[in-house]
Structure 1
Amino acid sequence: MDKKKSFTVDEIKRKLENYCVYQDRCHKEVEQKMREYNLITEAKEMIFLSLMKDNFLNEERFAKSFARGKFRIKSWGKQRIVRELKFKDISDYNIKTALKEIDEEEYLSTIYRITENRNEIINETDIYKRKKKLIEFLMRKGFEADLIYKTVNEVVS
Protein backbone atom coordinates (compact mmCIF):
# COMPACT_ATOMS: atom_id res chain seq x y z
CA MET A 1 0.00 0.00 0.00
CA ASP A 2 1.48 3.29 -1.14
CA LYS A 3 -1.00 5.61 0.55
CA LYS A 4 0.30 9.18 0.93
CA LYS A 5 -0.57 10.96 4.15
CA SER A 6 -2.66 14.01 3.42
CA PHE A 7 -2.26 17.30 5.25
CA THR A 8 -4.44 20.36 5.58
CA VAL A 9 -3.23 23.58 4.00
CA ASP A 10 -2.48 24.95 7.50
CA GLU A 11 -0.38 21.89 8.36
CA ILE A 12 1.58 22.22 5.13
CA LYS A 13 2.04 25.95 5.77
CA ARG A 14 3.42 25.18 9.25
CA LYS A 15 5.76 22.53 7.81
CA LEU A 16 7.06 25.02 5.23
CA GLU A 17 7.44 27.72 7.89
CA ASN A 18 9.64 25.34 9.89
CA TYR A 19 11.54 24.47 6.70
CA CYS A 20 12.26 28.18 6.17
CA VAL A 21 13.09 28.85 9.84
CA TYR A 22 15.70 26.08 9.96
CA GLN A 23 17.70 27.75 7.19
CA ASP A 24 17.13 30.64 4.78
CA ARG A 25 15.52 29.28 1.61
CA CYS A 26 14.99 30.63 -1.89
CA HIS A 27 11.67 30.48 -3.75
CA LYS A 28 12.90 27.61 -5.91
CA GLU A 29 13.68 25.41 -2.87
CA VAL A 30 10.28 26.12 -1.31
CA GLU A 31 8.57 25.38 -4.64
CA GLN A 32 10.36 22.03 -4.86
CA LYS A 33 9.34 21.23 -1.29
CA MET A 34 5.72 22.15 -2.10
CA ARG A 35 5.69 19.68 -5.00
CA GLU A 36 5.92 16.87 -2.45
CA TYR A 37 2.45 17.81 -1.18
CA ASN A 38 0.65 17.89 -4.57
CA LEU A 39 -1.11 21.17 -3.80
CA ILE A 40 -3.53 22.94 -6.09
CA THR A 41 -2.26 26.21 -7.57
CA GLU A 42 -4.43 28.43 -5.35
CA ALA A 43 -3.16 26.74 -2.17
CA LYS A 44 0.45 27.07 -3.35
CA GLU A 45 0.00 30.78 -4.03
CA MET A 46 -1.75 31.32 -0.70
CA ILE A 47 1.07 29.59 1.21
CA PHE A 48 3.75 31.44 -0.80
CA LEU A 49 2.17 34.82 -0.06
CA SER A 50 1.80 33.94 3.61
CA LEU A 51 5.47 32.85 3.87
CA MET A 52 6.62 36.10 2.26
CA LYS A 53 4.23 38.31 4.24
CA ASP A 54 5.36 36.76 7.54
CA ASN A 55 8.99 37.07 6.41
CA PHE A 56 9.71 33.32 6.44
CA LEU A 57 10.65 33.60 2.79
CA ASN A 58 12.87 36.52 1.84
CA GLU A 59 14.94 36.17 -1.31
CA GLU A 60 17.25 39.10 -0.52
CA ARG A 61 18.02 37.72 2.93
CA PHE A 62 18.60 34.27 1.40
CA ALA A 63 21.00 35.65 -1.22
CA LYS A 64 22.97 37.61 1.39
CA SER A 65 23.36 34.69 3.79
CA PHE A 66 24.19 32.33 0.89
CA ALA A 67 26.95 34.64 -0.36
CA ARG A 68 28.38 35.19 3.13
CA GLY A 69 28.29 31.49 3.96
CA LYS A 70 29.79 30.17 0.74
CA PHE A 71 32.54 32.77 0.87
CA ARG A 72 33.44 32.42 4.55
CA ILE A 73 32.98 28.67 4.92
CA LYS A 74 33.87 27.28 1.49
CA SER A 75 36.09 30.15 0.26
CA TRP A 76 34.14 30.47 -2.98
CA GLY A 77 34.91 33.34 -5.35
CA LYS A 78 32.28 35.82 -6.51
CA GLN A 79 31.81 34.19 -9.92
CA ARG A 80 30.95 30.82 -8.37
CA ILE A 81 28.54 32.49 -5.93
CA VAL A 82 26.85 34.38 -8.80
CA ARG A 83 26.59 31.19 -10.86
CA GLU A 84 25.00 29.25 -7.99
CA LEU A 85 22.55 32.07 -7.16
CA LYS A 86 21.50 32.30 -10.83
CA PHE A 87 20.95 28.55 -10.79
CA LYS A 88 18.55 29.15 -7.88
CA ASP A 89 16.71 31.78 -9.98
CA ILE A 90 17.74 34.71 -7.77
CA SER A 91 17.23 38.14 -9.37
CA ASP A 92 20.22 40.17 -10.59
CA TYR A 93 19.33 42.89 -8.09
CA ASN A 94 19.49 40.44 -5.17
CA ILE A 95 22.74 38.96 -6.50
CA LYS A 96 24.35 42.43 -6.58
CA THR A 97 23.09 43.09 -3.05
CA ALA A 98 24.45 39.73 -1.88
CA LEU A 99 27.93 40.39 -3.29
CA LYS A 100 28.12 43.59 -1.21
CA GLU A 101 28.17 41.30 1.85
CA ILE A 102 31.71 40.24 0.91
CA ASP A 103 34.36 42.59 2.24
CA GLU A 104 36.92 43.41 -0.47
CA GLU A 105 39.95 43.18 1.86
CA GLU A 106 38.74 39.86 3.24
CA TYR A 107 38.18 38.65 -0.34
CA LEU A 108 41.75 39.47 -1.36
CA SER A 109 43.27 37.97 1.77
CA THR A 110 41.21 34.81 1.19
CA ILE A 111 42.44 34.29 -2.37
CA TYR A 112 46.05 34.81 -1.21
CA ARG A 113 45.57 32.44 1.74
CA ILE A 114 44.07 29.60 -0.30
CA THR A 115 46.62 30.10 -3.10
CA GLU A 116 49.51 29.85 -0.64
CA ASN A 117 47.97 26.80 1.08
CA ARG A 118 47.35 25.06 -2.23
CA ASN A 119 50.84 25.96 -3.48
CA GLU A 120 52.37 24.17 -0.47
CA ILE A 121 50.56 20.89 -1.20
CA ILE A 122 51.15 20.75 -4.96
CA ASN A 123 53.96 18.29 -5.73
CA GLU A 124 55.17 19.84 -8.97
CA THR A 125 58.67 21.11 -9.62
CA ASP A 126 57.94 22.63 -13.04
CA ILE A 127 56.88 26.22 -12.26
CA TYR A 128 54.53 26.42 -15.28
CA LYS A 129 52.71 23.21 -14.38
CA ARG A 130 52.49 24.38 -10.76
CA LYS A 131 50.95 27.70 -11.87
CA LYS A 132 48.55 25.87 -14.20
CA LYS A 133 47.33 23.66 -11.33
CA LEU A 134 46.86 26.68 -9.06
CA ILE A 135 45.00 28.61 -11.75
CA GLU A 136 42.67 25.66 -12.44
CA PHE A 137 42.00 25.26 -8.71
CA LEU A 138 41.15 28.95 -8.28
CA MET A 139 38.96 28.92 -11.41
CA ARG A 140 36.93 26.06 -9.92
CA LYS A 141 36.59 28.08 -6.73
CA GLY A 142 35.07 30.86 -8.84
CA PHE A 143 37.57 33.70 -8.58
CA GLU A 144 37.99 36.26 -11.34
CA ALA A 145 40.68 35.48 -13.95
CA ASP A 146 42.65 38.74 -13.62
CA LEU A 147 42.76 38.36 -9.84
CA ILE A 148 43.84 34.72 -10.17
CA TYR A 149 46.77 35.51 -12.51
CA LYS A 150 47.92 38.40 -10.33
CA THR A 151 47.79 36.27 -7.15
CA VAL A 152 49.42 33.17 -8.67
CA ASN A 153 52.25 35.25 -10.13
CA GLU A 154 52.90 36.86 -6.74
CA VAL A 155 52.72 33.60 -4.74
CA VAL A 156 54.71 31.42 -7.19
CA SER A 157 57.90 33.07 -8.30
Structure 2
Amino acid sequence: MSSSEDVKYREAVELSLRFCGYRERSKKEINTKLLSKNYSPELIEKVIKRLEEIGAVDNLRFARAFSRGKNKSNRWGKIKIRNHLFEKGLDSSEIEEGINSIDKKTYYEVLRKNIEVYTRKHSNPEKNKLVAHLLYKGFSSDEIFKTIEQQT
Protein backbone atom coordinates (compact mmCIF):
# COMPACT_ATOMS: atom_id res chain seq x y z
CA MET A 1 0.00 0.00 0.00
CA SER A 2 1.29 3.45 -0.85
CA SER A 3 1.36 6.09 1.88
CA SER A 4 -1.79 7.82 0.54
CA GLU A 5 -3.60 4.46 0.44
CA ASP A 6 -2.38 3.78 3.97
CA VAL A 7 -3.74 7.13 5.15
CA LYS A 8 -7.12 6.44 3.49
CA TYR A 9 -7.18 2.98 5.07
CA ARG A 10 -6.51 4.38 8.56
CA GLU A 11 -9.14 7.11 8.04
CA ALA A 12 -11.69 4.51 6.93
CA VAL A 13 -10.93 2.28 9.93
CA GLU A 14 -11.26 5.23 12.34
CA LEU A 15 -14.53 6.34 10.73
CA SER A 16 -15.87 2.79 10.95
CA LEU A 17 -14.85 2.42 14.59
CA ARG A 18 -16.67 5.66 15.46
CA PHE A 19 -19.68 4.44 13.46
CA CYS A 20 -19.67 1.18 15.45
CA GLY A 21 -19.00 2.96 18.72
CA TYR A 22 -22.50 3.67 19.90
CA ARG A 23 -24.31 0.54 18.66
CA GLU A 24 -23.67 -2.75 16.89
CA ARG A 25 -23.48 -2.54 13.09
CA SER A 26 -23.74 -5.08 10.31
CA LYS A 27 -21.05 -5.41 7.67
CA LYS A 28 -23.51 -4.08 5.10
CA GLU A 29 -24.13 -0.92 7.17
CA ILE A 30 -20.39 -0.27 7.37
CA ASN A 31 -20.02 -0.95 3.65
CA THR A 32 -22.83 1.50 2.85
CA LYS A 33 -21.36 4.16 5.14
CA LEU A 34 -17.90 3.90 3.60
CA LEU A 35 -19.29 3.89 0.06
CA SER A 36 -21.17 7.11 0.89
CA LYS A 37 -17.78 8.61 1.84
CA ASN A 38 -16.39 7.56 -1.58
CA TYR A 39 -14.02 4.84 -0.41
CA SER A 40 -13.22 2.16 -2.98
CA PRO A 41 -14.84 -1.29 -2.68
CA GLU A 42 -11.38 -2.87 -2.37
CA LEU A 43 -10.46 -0.62 0.55
CA ILE A 44 -13.84 -1.21 2.19
CA GLU A 45 -13.29 -4.96 2.00
CA LYS A 46 -9.92 -4.58 3.76
CA VAL A 47 -11.43 -2.33 6.43
CA ILE A 48 -14.28 -4.74 7.16
CA LYS A 49 -11.82 -7.64 7.35
CA ARG A 50 -9.74 -5.67 9.87
CA LEU A 51 -12.82 -4.76 11.92
CA GLU A 52 -13.76 -8.45 12.07
CA GLU A 53 -10.21 -9.37 13.17
CA ILE A 54 -10.32 -6.94 16.10
CA GLY A 55 -13.90 -7.88 17.02
CA ALA A 56 -15.41 -4.49 16.22
CA VAL A 57 -17.94 -5.97 13.81
CA ASP A 58 -19.68 -9.32 14.01
CA ASN A 59 -22.92 -10.03 12.14
CA LEU A 60 -24.04 -12.67 14.66
CA ARG A 61 -23.55 -10.30 17.58
CA PHE A 62 -25.37 -7.61 15.60
CA ALA A 63 -28.27 -9.98 14.83
CA ARG A 64 -28.69 -10.90 18.49
CA ALA A 65 -28.54 -7.30 19.74
CA PHE A 66 -30.84 -6.02 16.99
CA SER A 67 -33.41 -8.79 17.55
CA ARG A 68 -33.60 -8.41 21.31
CA GLY A 69 -33.57 -4.62 21.10
CA LYS A 70 -36.32 -4.30 18.50
CA ASN A 71 -38.48 -6.85 20.29
CA LYS A 72 -38.16 -5.15 23.65
CA SER A 73 -37.97 -1.44 22.72
CA ASN A 74 -40.05 -1.26 19.54
CA ARG A 75 -42.29 -4.21 20.48
CA TRP A 76 -41.69 -5.90 17.12
CA GLY A 77 -42.47 -9.51 16.32
CA LYS A 78 -40.16 -12.04 14.68
CA ILE A 79 -41.43 -11.46 11.14
CA LYS A 80 -40.68 -7.73 11.15
CA ILE A 81 -37.31 -8.29 12.83
CA ARG A 82 -36.43 -10.99 10.27
CA ASN A 83 -37.28 -8.64 7.36
CA HIS A 84 -35.17 -5.82 8.78
CA LEU A 85 -32.20 -8.11 9.40
CA PHE A 86 -32.43 -9.27 5.79
CA GLU A 87 -32.34 -5.60 4.69
CA LYS A 88 -29.24 -5.15 6.86
CA GLY A 89 -27.46 -7.74 4.72
CA LEU A 90 -27.43 -10.74 7.04
CA ASP A 91 -27.67 -14.29 5.75
CA SER A 92 -30.43 -16.67 6.82
CA SER A 93 -28.37 -18.50 9.47
CA GLU A 94 -27.35 -15.19 11.10
CA ILE A 95 -30.96 -14.01 11.01
CA GLU A 96 -32.24 -17.21 12.63
CA GLU A 97 -29.54 -17.02 15.29
CA GLY A 98 -30.65 -13.47 16.09
CA ILE A 99 -34.34 -14.38 16.19
CA ASN A 100 -33.62 -17.40 18.41
CA SER A 101 -31.76 -15.20 20.90
CA ILE A 102 -35.04 -13.52 21.91
CA ASP A 103 -36.22 -14.90 25.23
CA LYS A 104 -39.53 -16.70 24.63
CA LYS A 105 -41.13 -15.40 27.83
CA THR A 106 -40.14 -11.81 26.99
CA TYR A 107 -41.39 -12.25 23.43
CA TYR A 108 -44.90 -13.20 24.55
CA GLU A 109 -44.89 -10.49 27.23
CA VAL A 110 -44.22 -7.99 24.42
CA LEU A 111 -47.09 -9.43 22.37
CA ARG A 112 -49.45 -9.18 25.36
CA LYS A 113 -48.24 -5.61 26.00
CA ASN A 114 -49.01 -4.71 22.36
CA ILE A 115 -52.55 -6.06 22.82
CA GLU A 116 -52.96 -4.20 26.10
CA VAL A 117 -51.73 -0.86 24.71
CA TYR A 118 -53.85 -1.16 21.57
CA THR A 119 -57.03 -2.02 23.49
CA ARG A 120 -56.38 0.83 25.94
CA LYS A 121 -56.02 3.34 23.08
CA HIS A 122 -59.02 2.01 21.17
CA SER A 123 -61.78 1.25 23.61
CA ASN A 124 -63.51 -1.94 22.50
CA PRO A 125 -61.51 -2.39 19.25
CA GLU A 126 -62.69 -4.61 16.44
CA LYS A 127 -60.79 -7.88 16.56
CA ASN A 128 -59.76 -7.68 12.89
CA LYS A 129 -58.20 -4.23 13.43
CA LEU A 130 -56.28 -5.48 16.46
CA VAL A 131 -55.05 -8.48 14.48
CA ALA A 132 -54.04 -6.23 11.55
CA HIS A 133 -52.07 -4.01 13.95
CA LEU A 134 -50.27 -7.01 15.45
CA LEU A 135 -49.51 -8.43 12.01
CA TYR A 136 -48.01 -5.05 11.09
CA LYS A 137 -45.85 -5.25 14.22
CA GLY A 138 -44.48 -8.55 12.90
CA PHE A 139 -46.27 -11.23 14.90
CA SER A 140 -47.61 -14.35 13.18
CA SER A 141 -51.34 -15.03 13.06
CA ASP A 142 -50.83 -18.21 15.14
CA GLU A 143 -49.05 -16.26 17.87
CA ILE A 144 -51.71 -13.54 17.79
CA PHE A 145 -54.76 -15.81 17.98
CA LYS A 146 -53.25 -18.03 20.70
CA THR A 147 -52.39 -14.99 22.82
CA ILE A 148 -55.79 -13.33 22.32
CA GLU A 149 -57.49 -16.61 23.21
CA GLN A 150 -55.42 -16.92 26.40
CA GLN A 151 -56.32 -13.37 27.45
CA THR A 152 -60.08 -13.85 27.09
Normalised by the length of structure 1, the TM-score is 0.84
The question of 1:117 aligning with 2:120 is answered no
Match of 1:9 in 2: 9
Match of 1:102 in 2: 102
- The alpha-carbon deviation at position 28 of structure 1 amounts to 1.3
Which runs of no fewer than 5 residues in structure 1 stay unpaired? 1-6
Match of 1:89 in 2: 89
Q: Letter of the 1:42 partner, please give it.
A: E
Match of 1:66 in 2: 66
- The alpha-carbon deviation at position 147 of structure 1 amounts to 1.3
Q: CA RMSD in A?
A: 1.7
CA contact (8 A) 2:75 2:110 kept: yes
Match of 1:143 in 2: 139
- The alpha-carbon deviation at position 103 of structure 1 amounts to 1.2
For residues 37 and 120 of structure 2, the distance between their equivalents in structure 1, rounded to whole angstroms, comes to 50
For residues 81 and 40 of structure 1, the distance between their equivalents in structure 2, rounded to whole angstroms, comes to 31
For residues 139 and 106 of structure 2, the distance between their equivalents in structure 1, rounded to whole angstroms, comes to 13
Q: How does 1:13-28 map to 2 (within 5 A)?
A: 13-28=13-28
Residue-by-residue CA offset, 1:34-71 (whole Å, 9 max, x unaligned): 11232233322211111111111110010000001001
Q: Letter of the 1:138 partner, please give it.
A: L
Runs of 4+ with deviation above 3 angstroms: none
- The alpha-carbon deviation at position 154 of structure 1 amounts to 4.2
For residues 65 and 83 of structure 2, the distance between their equivalents in structure 1, rounded to whole angstroms, comes to 15
CA contact (8 A) 1:135 1:152 kept: no
Count of residues in Structure 1 that have an aligned counterpart in Structure 2: 146
% identity of equivalent residues:
27
